[in-house]
Amino acid sequence: MASVSILVVLDLVGIFVFAISGALVAVRKELDLFGVLVLAGTTGLGGGFLRDVLIDATPPAALADWRYLMVPIAAGLVTFWYHPTLGRMEPYVNVFDAFGLSLFCVTGAIKAMDYGLGPAPAALMGMVTGIGGGMARDILAGRVPVIFRGELYATPALAGAAVAATIHQYDGPLWAAATAGGLLCLTWRLMAIRLTWTAPMASGPASA
């Protein structure tokens, strides 16, 4: 953990981008500086916290390594001061966010298997790592999670996590599991943004 490996850098970049999306929601909801920082931290770290609590990897890594706490604080402060600029850059933020999602779903699934879960629940934990922060952000901001509202976000994460878990299960090399799973999630998510694919809704009238 102490050395700056490529994986840690990628992880911190993913947290940074997720944290910016949380801070932007907080600014738009007219929360104060503290609310901006909390939503930045929750969005950046919440998915990993939820996974670590469920697979019994507590205390979460982010509480044992100060860099993991500094990154969402930095993202929150940047957003607090420069939110009009960041708001205009949102299409780019969404692309970086897709990178973060791809990274988290893969690392989350592999970590869950290293803690003894089978591949199917590990894939679920990978998805939770990717989407948990955004769900916590929306609940704290008082809205129904946007990923329940037709946006194709969780399915690519689950698919990528499942591919990574399957390769890891059959003792494939880590880089192959991470690359195959991550690329599947990334491609699918970017195409969903680009082509505005949506998830299916239940048909017919919803009975009261």
Contact segment (CB under 8 A) with its own copies among 7-15, 91-99, 148-156, 161-169 equals: 148-156
Tokens of 1: 């953990």
Contact call for residues 124 and 109 (beta carbons, < 8 A): no
With tokens 């946007």, the residue in question is 146
Sign of torsion over alpha carbons 59, 177, 130, 89: positive
**What is the C-alpha to C-alpha distance for residues 27 and 37, in angstroms, rounded to an integer?**
10
Task: Between 195 and 202, name the residue whose CB sits nearer to its own copies.
Answer: 202
Q: Does residue 26 touch its own copies according to CB under 8 A?
A: yes
- Residue ranges in 57-76 that form contacts with its own copies under rule CB under 8 A: 58-60, 62-64, 66, 69
Q: b/e map of 121-142 (b: 16 or more CB within 10 Å)? A: bbbbbbbbbbbbbbbbbbebbe
Residue 34 burial (10 A CB sphere; 0-12, 13-18, 19+): exposed
Report the nearest approach of its own copies to the CB of residue 173 (Å). Answer: 25
Residues 108-137 that bind its own copies (CB under 8 A): 115-118, 120-121, 124-125, 135
Binding residues for its own copies, how many (CB under 8 A)?
Answer: 66
Contacting its own copies within 159-198 (CB under 8 A): 198
Contacting its own copies (CB under 8 A), which of 8, 13, 74, 80?
A: 80
Residue with tokens 């402060």: 77
Residues that bind its own copies (CB under 8 A): 26-36, 38-39, 49, 53-56, 58-60, 62-64, 66, 69, 80-81, 83-84, 87-88, 115-118, 120-121, 124-125, 135, 139-145, 147-151, 153-155, 198-202, 204-208
